[in-house]
Structure 1
Amino acid sequence: MQTVHALDPLRNAVAELRSRGPVALVPTMGALHDGHLTLVREAKSRGASIVVSIFVNPLQFGANEDLDAYPRQLARDSALLEAEGVDVLWAPTVEAMYPAGFASNISVAGVSEGLCGAARPGHFDGVATVVCKLFNQVMPDMALFGEKDWQQLAVIRRMARDLDLTRPAADAILGVPTVRETDGLAMSSRNAYLSAGERAAAVALPTAMRKAIAAIEGGEPVPATLATLEADILAGGFRAIDYAELREAGGLAPLAARADTPMRLIVAARIGSTRLIDNMAVAPA
């Protein structure tokens, strides 16, 4: 595996990969877990050479968020990626990604509003900006993202469509199902922040979500089901709910009743000092 920290060596390495066939990009912020490695394995199954980026993007962190505390484990992550057969690790410095004088911003309206967009103002501008830069730097034939952050996936696909990106095209931005721990908790780098007690209690989130989905699919009213969902999460040990909503899966329109279209139940909740997100599919009516 080749590790590069500057743009010219990256482009030279990707040009060599492209001479062999398609190139896949897996963007990450590091602190890798099996969810990330599942993205790598999915790319490999598609016969692509693989570029993984590791960059803790300051633009997507708010003033009171965990940028400084976010885990940085480049040596460990590099060993994991090499064991998976990754071809290139792109690990730029902040200065390489945002040179002096950097002054551009990409804002994606609509799908970025509400949910995490409301709870974390400016977050999705930072996501869209860095992902667009990564796409332009690597020019992959496909890019793979976990479905755990469903709103992020929607923002990136919308950006690609609106800006007429072709490497990758919007249809080549692939969502990979959320990887979960054995008790159902979605894998996340932020799970490392949880104390032993908080980690044991965190399973209340996916458990309550599955219960709510069964109720919605069984015909229960959505507003009452969401109220019960929030109560169940809080009773399980969480201290606050940022949101718990039923949304249309594609454009993320809010839904007050079960619809005849693919839907997602999307939740963000806080346990201790940690904010966890999750989403699950809800079957159409």
Structure 2
Amino acid sequence: MNIHGIRAIYRFEMARTFRTITQSIASPVLSTSLYFVVFGAAIGSRMGDIEGVSYGAFIIPGLLMLSLLNESISNASFGIYMPKWAGTIYELLSAPVSYVEVVIGYVGAAATKSLLLGVLILITARLFVPYEIAHPFWMLCFLVLTAVTFSLFGFIIGLWADDFQKLQLIPLMVVMPLTFLGGAFYSIKMLPPVWQTVTLFNPVVYLISGFRWSFYGVADVNVGVSVAVILGFLVACLAAVWWIFKTGWKLKA
């Protein structure tokens, strides 16, 4: 394992984050804080509890997951797309580093940024809405698994994209709608039975449900199923990355 190669990629990506800290960190935290102000402090105070949890506290896991998914995808996709766009990816491919080390460097940096952002959002949420974490260990596990998995997914998007517009296509047209419809602001048990069944085909439901369970001990679906879904998606992303580097798809063309 070429530790120096991994460290070089990781440090370069982290340095880019701190050069653009306003866009990378401050902007997502500020945007999420507005949700806490509007839905948590203002509207939440006028709504009843959901499964014994105040509405303002209930939406915290969903809002955190919304930011985590978008930022993990964006950080990883932009990180690997820039070498493709600049043409420096050929130097990376010819360097004495394996594709495993390349993935660890880029995905590790993207996941680190997302985890840092997640911690800052949790701290910020405390200023507006009181909340408790019933299962801190499992909350951390869900946070790390989600950040790593969707950073891998973003890495794949960055390899697939041919222009800057495609980098935002899947996050805006697919991931964000699925998150809003996946119980970020409500429990799917509040839906009519037919729509509850339809919603179960949305994979983000399992992420938000499992994450919310780690906070309050309540979930829309079985926690074991939530863990299985995210692990399954992680394995699928790893398989896709292996195939891309094995075949050179979108890399050597």
TM superposition score category, shorter chain reference? under 0.3
Higher RCO, Cα 8 Å, sep 6+: 2
Q: Which structure's residues are more often helix, by fraction?
A: 2
Q: Which structure's residues are more often strand, by fraction?
A: 1
TM score, norm. by length of structure 2: 0.27
